[in-house]
Amino acid sequence: KAGVTQTPRYLIKTRGQQVTLSCSPISGHRSVSWYQQTPGQGLQFLFEYFSETQRNKGNFPGRFSGRQFSNSRSEMNVSTLELGDSALYLCASSLAASISSYNEQFFGPGTRLTVL
Amino acid sequence: DQQVKQNSPSLSVQEGRISILNCDYTNSMFDYFLWYKKYPAEGPTFLISISSIKDKNEDGRFTVFLNKSAKHLSLHIVPSQPGDSAVYFCAASAYTGNQFYFGTGTSLTVIP
């Protein structure tokens, strides 16, 4: 079974630009979560989508948005990029059979975003 | 507000010895805990989990201990191997939510 894939793997943008990152979950997984990883901050939760609906949202500004398609693929968008947005963006998928079940998350390799 | 904390950014251990990685949490609603291992240029991979109804879970060389009263969990790796050198993240979740809260990670180096 193919793992979680993320594209692109590396991205360089300049301040003020916007960026879209893509995530394809493991086949059959309906939940997709996005995280930002920066040195010293660990993995900061951005949002989680389940069946095309955002179920949870972390404490990030509105410049960060996402969506999920009917095939469970997800995209994350960051508008008006700032230098501090430089980070590794990780996507994780899980089976999420029900809204309140424990689900192990499987992570993709991440997209390394550099904002100049 | 960091609800899951890993206070040791790094740890070095001799091959064959025990590695103990610690994690503290503040939210008493957390009842499911996981450990992930991350190599450079790869996403984290799931290692082991424990629910709050247990105080210990074992999987091969890896054992996780949970002390609910202290809001503390630890991961024991015995014996440690050079291939265990990676960054380890602990994560926590509450049953009523689907959000995982991660610690900042501990970089483990196992010296041959």
Residues B43-71 have pLDDT tens digits of: 999 999 998 899 999 999 999 999 999 99
Q: What is the dihedral of CA B80, B83, B88, B93, to 10 degrees?
A: -90
Q: In this predicted structure, what is the pLDDT of residue B40?
A: 86
Q: In this predicted structure, what is the pLDDT of residue B94?
A: 83
Q: In this predicted structure, what is the pLDDT of residue B41?
A: 80
Residues A10-41 pLDDT 10s: 999 999 999 999 999 999 898 899 999 987 77
Is A114 a residue whose pLDDT tops 60?
Answer: yes
User: Given an 8 Å threshold on Cβ–Cβ distance, is B104 in contact with A110?
Assistant: no
Q: For residue B49, which residues of chain A lie inside 8 Å, CB to CB?
A: 102, 104
Confidence class of residue B2 from pLDDT cuts 50, 70 and 90?
confident
Q: In this predicted structure, what is the pLDDT of residue A62?
A: 95
Q: In this predicted structure, what is the pLDDT of residue A2?
A: 77
A101 vs B20 pLDDT, higher one? B20
Greatest CA separation found in chain A? 41
Is A99 a residue whose pLDDT tops 60?
Answer: no
User: Given an 8 Å threshold on Cβ–Cβ distance, is B96 in contact with A100?
Assistant: yes
Is B92 a residue whose pLDDT tops 80?
Answer: yes
Q: For residue B100, which residues of chain A lie inside 8 Å, CB to CB?
A: 33, 45, 105
Q: In this predicted structure, what is the pLDDT of residue B96?
A: 62
Q: In this predicted structure, what is the pLDDT of residue A94?
A: 87
Share of chain B above pLDDT 90, in %: 79
The overall average pLDDT reported for chain B is 93
Q: Does B41 touch chain A (CB under 8 A)?
A: yes
Tell me the residue ranges of DSSP E strands in B2-105.
Answer: 4-5, 10-14, 19-25, 30-38, 45-51, 56-59, 62-67, 72-77, 86-94, 101-102
- CA of B48: which chain A residue's CA is closest? A104
Q: Give the number of other Cβ atoms within 10 Å of residue A71's Cβ.
A: 10
Q: In this predicted structure, what is the pLDDT of residue A81?
A: 97
Q: In this predicted structure, what is the pLDDT of residue A12?
A: 97
Is B38 a residue whose pLDDT tops 60?
Answer: yes
Rounded CA-CA distance A64/A78 in Å is: 5
Of the listed ranges A39-53, A79-93, B2-16, B24-38, the one predicted with least confidence: A39-53
- Average of per-residue pLDDT across A71-83: 96
Is A101 a residue whose pLDDT tops 60?
Answer: no
User: In A, what residues contact B, Cβ < 8 A?
Assistant: 4, 31, 33, 35, 40-45, 48, 50, 55-56, 58, 90, 92, 96, 99-100, 102-110
